[in-house]
């Protein structure tokens, strides 16, 4: 029987952290889960589009706030420290005991991946500005490595932290001398963008996943291909290696997780793991019993790595990428596509990347009390109404509100903008209010 034929039951959420091998969720974020890291102790850290980090002990979160935009990546430097980065271009480190964070510095573009040196002295950042930043965690001066022809997507330290491998949108994997800050050589030319990279140095191989759906394992020394694990879905957006090295997991753009046994490269399991959209983040639990996954949903799902036949599975019947929009009005569809990930319509803004839109019409920009706005939006004199909302999406936030946190997006069709404005007016007006 195919994996698709087995997908029939609905997911469940268990309160708190469950033992290895049980399905559970970590809920509380207000946006998609973009990054997951696991400490040797089993503690989980999550990075979210809601601009926050979650530090989870016994299933309960401590929220680490300080980033000014979506957090894309998180890594444990040690049990006592984590590092994070994202769409605000900033690299931050956090003391997990106190929850205090500090900024190490900034790139000139979004940061999508971090790697920690084995001794914990250095964090490497992969940025879409085309560089790799080597950031001393003590706050020393960073070193920037240049050579890729496009944004850098992922990184892995080898040889005790003296060497770094990098994967890029330019389709190459490159090798760098960390001590001298120079490029050693191009290890691989794939031809399509390489999204993810993991290394098992003890076993002598690295694996990569790419935009065209390819997953391959390559010998670290000879740089010859060991095996092609491609299953035909694209793109590969996440890779994870269990701490023991016994299992390799991939997550793709269609929402599937595949787990491979590395002793013989057989498929241990292959299953649909989200209610909608892609898999953006993967990490094995410390003992390898579970594989944690993040995507468009506002929860981290943790699945038994062996995927026993009686474990929970996703009910995907009638759940498209934009769930429910086939029956929605055009205004609602525009809201779900352009606004819903960042904003709520209710007075409670929850943990979202943007402020609540409740009472939007007639409100000066930058004035919701419980939201930390960028300086670029405060004092602009913009008052939200039909005309200003229309201009926002006609011109794009990068033109209408330059320097603000709002992602670059436009609604090019006039009727679509009018329908969105009508929907917002109907759903953001306070009860008994007039707008």
**Strands of 163-168's sheet, edge to edge?**
152-158, 163-168, 172-177, 182-189
pLDDT at residue number 432:
58
| Residue 83, CA distances (Å) to 41, 86, 124 in order | 17, 11, 10
| C-alpha neighbours within 13 Å on the C-beta side of residue 63 | 14
pLDDT at residue number 276:
80
Count the Cβ atoms, other than its own, within 10 Å of residue 329. 13
397's enclosing H/E stretch is helix 397-400
CA distance 396 to 402: 9
End-to-end CA distance of the chain, in Å? 57
pLDDT at residue number 334:
83
Question: 189 forms bridges with which residues in the sheet?
Answer: 172
CA distance 31 to 298: 5
335's enclosing H/E stretch is helix 330-338
Q: Using only C-alpha atoms, what is the Rg of the chain?
A: 22
With 80 as the cut, is the pLDDT of residue 44 above it?
yes
CATH topology of domain 325-428: Cytochrome Bc1 Complex; Chain D, domain 2 (1.10.760)
Helix axes 386-395, 414-428, angle to 10 degrees: 130
The residue ranges of DSSP E strands in 159-287, in sequence order, are 163-168, 172-177, 182-189, 194-200, 205-210, 215-219, 225-228, 236-241, 247-252, 256-261, 266-272, 279-284
CA 45 and chain centroid, separation: 12
Q: What is the pLDDT of residues 329-365, one digit of tens each?
A: 988 888 877 787 778 888 876 677 788 898 999 999 9
CA distance 413 to 397: 16
What length is written for the chain? 435
Q: Which CATH architecture has domain 3-304?
A: 7 Propeller (2.130)
pLDDT at residue number 104:
98
Q: What are phi and psi of 134, to 5 degrees?
A: -105, 110
Q: What is the pLDDT of residues 279-310, one digit of tens each?
A: 999 999 999 999 999 999 999 999 999 864 34
Computed over every residue of the chain, the mean pLDDT equals 87
With 70 as the cut, is the pLDDT of residue 323 above it?
no
With 60 as the cut, is the pLDDT of residue 1 above it?
no
Question: 174 forms bridges with which residues in the sheet?
Answer: 166, 186
Q: What are phi and psi of 419, to 5 degrees?
A: -65, -40
Are 3-304 and 325-428 in the same CATH fold?
Answer: no
* Residue whose structure tokens are 């850098």: 152
- CA-wise closest residue to 35 among 70, 69, 66: 70
Domains of the chain, residue spans = 3-304, 325-428
Q: Is 402 left (phi over 0), alpha (psi -120 to 50) or beta?
A: beta
Contact 240, 228 (CB under 8 A): no
Q: What is the pLDDT of residues 387-434, one digit of tens each?
A: 999 999 988 887 888 877 777 778 889 998 999 999 999 988 886 554
**Helix, strand, coil % over all residues of the chain, rounded to 5:** 10, 40, 50
Contact 204, 189 (CB under 8 A): no
With 60 as the cut, is the pLDDT of residue 54 above it?
yes
CA distance 23 to 299: 13
Q: What is the pLDDT of residues 193-208, one digit of tens each?
A: 999 999 999 999 999 9
Higher pLDDT, 312 or 329: 329
Give the pTM: 0.79
With 70 as the cut, is the pLDDT of residue 237 above it?
yes
Buried b (16+ CB within 10 A) or exposed e, 81-99: bbbbbbbbbbbbbbebeee
| Residue 250, CA distances (Å) to 11, 30, 68, 240, 401 in order | 20, 25, 30, 7, 38
Q: What is the pLDDT of residues 82-101, one digit of tens each?
A: 999 999 999 999 999 999 99
Structure tokens at 178: 């960390």
With 80 as the cut, is the pLDDT of residue 109 above it?
yes
């Amino acid at each position: 029987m195919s994996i698709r034929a087995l997908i029939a039951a609905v997911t469940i959420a268990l309160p708190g952290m469950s033992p290895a091998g049980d399905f559970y969720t970590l809920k509380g974020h207000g946006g998609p889960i973009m990054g997951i890291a696991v400490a040797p102790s089993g503690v989980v850290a999550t990075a979210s589009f809601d601009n926050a980090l979650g530090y989870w002990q016994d299933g309960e979160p401590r929220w680490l706030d300080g980033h000014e935009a979506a957090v894309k990546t998180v890594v444990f430097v040690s049990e006592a420290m984590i590092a994070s980065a994202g769409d605000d271009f900033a690299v931050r480190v956090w003391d997990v005991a106190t929850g205090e964070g500090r900024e190490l510095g900034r790139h000139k573009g979004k940061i999508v991946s971090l790697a920690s040196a084995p001794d914990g002295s250095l964090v490497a950042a992969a940025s879409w500005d085309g560089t790799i930043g080597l950031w001393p965690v003590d706050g020393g001066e960073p070193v920037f490595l240049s050579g890729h022809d496009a944004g850098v997507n992922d990184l892995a330290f080898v040889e005790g932290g003296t060497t770094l491998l990098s994967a890029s949108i330019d389709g190459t994997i490159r090798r760098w001398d960390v001590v001298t800050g120079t490029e050693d050589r191009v290890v691989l030319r794939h031809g399509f963008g390489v999204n993810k990279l993991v290394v098992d140095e003890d076993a002598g191989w690295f694996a990569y996943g790419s935009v065209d759906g390819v997953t391959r394992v390559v010998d670290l020394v000879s740089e010859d291909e060991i095996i092609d694990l491609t299953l035909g879905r694209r793109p590969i957006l996440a890779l994870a290696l269990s701490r023991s090295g016994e299992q390799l997991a991939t997550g793709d753009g269609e929402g599937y997780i595949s787990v491979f046994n590395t002793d013989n490269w057989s498929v241990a399991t292959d299953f649909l793991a989200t209610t909608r959209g892609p898999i953006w983040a993967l990490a094995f639990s410390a003992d390898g019993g579970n594989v944690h996954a993040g995507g468009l949903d506002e929860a981290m799902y943790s699945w038994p790595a062996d995927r026993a036949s009686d474990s929970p599975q996703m009910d995907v019947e009638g759940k498209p990428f934009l769930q429910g929009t086939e029956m929605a009005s055009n205004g609602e569809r525009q809201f779900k596509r352009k606004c819903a990930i960042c904003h709520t319509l209710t007075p409670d803004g929850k943990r979202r990347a943007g402020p609540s839109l409740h009472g939007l019409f007639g409100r000066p920009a930058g004035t919701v009390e419980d939201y930390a706005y960028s300086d670029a939006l405060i004092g602009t004199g913009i008052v939200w109404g039909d005309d200003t909302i229309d201009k926002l999406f006609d011109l794009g936030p990068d033109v209408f509100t330059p320097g603000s946190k709002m992602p670059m997006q436009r609604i090019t069709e006039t009727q679509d903008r009018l329908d969105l404005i009508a929907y917002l007016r109907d759903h953001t007006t306070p009860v008994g209010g007039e707008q």
